[in-house]
A and B are shown apart, each in its own frame.
Chain A
Amino acid sequence: MTWLLAAEEGGSNVLRIPLFEFFIGLAAFFIVFGVLAKFALPVIKKTLEDRADAIEGGIKRAEEAQAEAQRTLEQYQEQMAAARAEVAEIRQQTEAERATVMEEARKAAEVQAAQIAANATSQIEAEKAKALAELRKSMGGVATDLAGRIVGESMTDDARAAGVVDRFISELEQAAPNGGQN
C-alpha cells in the first residue's frame, strides 16, 4: 500500500510508463526477434528436419535390409525344399528301377533255367529213344540168330522175323510185370 500512497504524495508511481523505457524495450525485443528469426532459428529448424529425415531414412533403410534378408531366407528355404523333393524323387526312381532290373533278371534266369531243363529233358528223351531203338534192333538180331539156330528155321525173312520179334518183345513186356510180381 505504501507505494500507492507514495504515488499520491507525488513520489514514485510504479504504474507510470516512461516512454524511453517503453520504446527501448520494444526495440530490444524486435532486434532480438529479428536476429533470432533470421539467423538462428531457421538453421536449427532445418537441422531438426534433416535429423528427422536422417532418422526416418535410417529406419527405412533398416526395414529394407530386413525385408531383403527375409526374401533371401525364403528363397533359400524354397530352394532347399525343391532340392529335398528332387532327392526324394530320385531315390524313389532308383528304387523302382532297381526293382524292375531285379525282376527282369529273375525272369530271365527262370526262363533260361526252364530252357536248360527242357533241353536236357528232350536230349535225354532222344538219347533214351535212340538207345532203345538200338537195343531193340541189336537184341532182335541176336535173338533171331539165336532162335534161328535153335529152331533151325531161317529167320532171315525180315518181315516175318520182325513180326516174331515184336510179338516176343510185347509178350516179354506183358510178362515182365507178372514176372516182377512173382
Chain B
Amino acid sequence: MLGAVVPMAEIEPGCHLGNDFGCGFPAPDASIFEIEPYFGSFTKPVFLLLLGSLIIIIFFLAAFRNSKLIPGKLQSVGEMGYLFIRDGISREVIGKDGDRFVPLLFTLFFFVWIGNLWGIIPGAQFPVNSRFAFPVGLAITVWLIYMYLGMRHQGPIKFFTNMMFPPGMPKAIYVILAPIELISNVIVRPVTLSIRLFANMFAGHLLLTVFTVATFYLASLSLVGILGSATSFLMTIIFTAFEALIQALQAYIFTLLTAVYIAGSLHAEH
C-alpha cells in the first residue's frame, strides 16, 4: 500500500482507503517542495521569506526604536531575544569582545527561526529553509566571515597552520591530523551547517505532510478508517509541537555554531 507513490499533484480528489478508485496511499514525496510560482520566480517560500523578513524588521523596530529604561511589554519581549543572543550565545561562546558580532548573530537567529516557523503557521505551513538555496546562502555568508576574520586576526597562513597543527600532539600524528583538520574546518563546516538546517526542515515538513495526508486518506466510515484517521491526526498534532521545538533548536544551533566558528577565527584553538 505504501509502496505506491503518487506525486501530490496527481492525487485525485476523494481518494480514500477502501473506496472504488483503487488508488493507493498518496505518500508525499519531494514534489511537495516544488510549488508553482505565484508569478515569475516568486514561489511560496520566496514570498514567505520576504514576509518573514518584513515581520522581523517591523517587530524589532517597533520594539527597540523608542526603547526606554523601564521597558514596555513589546520592548521586554524584544530585550529577551536580544539578551538571549548576547548573553546566551555571544558572550558565552566568544566572550565580551564578541559583542560586535551580536547584530550578525541576532539577525541570523531570528532570520532562520522565522523561516523555520512558517512550517507550522496555519495557512503558510511551509518551512522556508527546507529550500536548500536559503541555508546554503547563509552558510556561505558565515563561511566567508569565518575565513575573513581568521585570516585577519591570525594571519593569512597562520590561520590555516594553527588549524592544521593543534599543539600538544606527537609529531607523527600530524601526518593524518593536518589534512583531516583542514578538510573538517574549511569544507565540512559550511556543508554540515547548511545541510543540518535544510535536512531538519525538509524531514520535518515531510513528516507533517505524511500524517496530514494519512488523516484524509484514512478517513472513512469504518473502524479502521476512524481509528487510523484519528491516530494520524493525533500524530500530526504531536509532530507539530515537536516541529516547533526543532525549528527553534535548529535556529539556535545554526547561530551557536556561527559563534563557535567566529570564536575559533579570533583566537587559535588550543
Q: Does B134 contact A (CB under 8 A)?
A: yes
Residue among B69, B107, B133 making CB contact with A54, cutoff 8 Å: B69
Report the Cα distance A45→B71, complex, angstroms: 13
Interface size class of A (residues with CB under 8 A): 35 or more
Q: Are B138 and A25 in contact (CB under 8 A)?
A: yes
| 1/0 contact string of B99-115 vs chain A (CB within 8 Å) | 00011101100110000
Question: Within the complex, what minimum Cβ distance (angstroms) separates B130 from chain A?
Answer: 8
What's the tally of chain B residues with a CB closer than 8 Å to chain A? Answer: 47
Question: A13: which B residues are within 8 A, CB to CB?
Answer: 30
A43 within 8 A of B: yes
Would you call A29 and B30 a contact (CB within 8 A)? no
8 Å CB contacts to A: which residues of B74-116? 75, 78-79, 82-83, 102-104, 106-107, 110-111
Is there an interface contact between A33 and B103, defined as CB atoms closer than 8 Å?
yes
Q: A2-B27, A43-B64 are in contact. Are A24 and B49 (CB under 8 A)?
A: yes
A37 CA to B99 CA in the complex, in Å?
12
A18 within 8 Å of B by Cβ?
A: yes
A40 touches B132 (CB 8 A): no
**Using a CB–CB distance below 8 Å, which chain B residues touch chain A?**
5, 7, 27, 29-31, 33-34, 41, 43, 45-46, 49-50, 53, 56-57, 60-61, 63-65, 67-69, 71, 75, 78-79, 82-83, 102-104, 106-107, 110-111, 131-134, 136-138, 141, 202
3 closest pairs, A vs B, by CB?
A3-B30, A21-B133, A37-B103
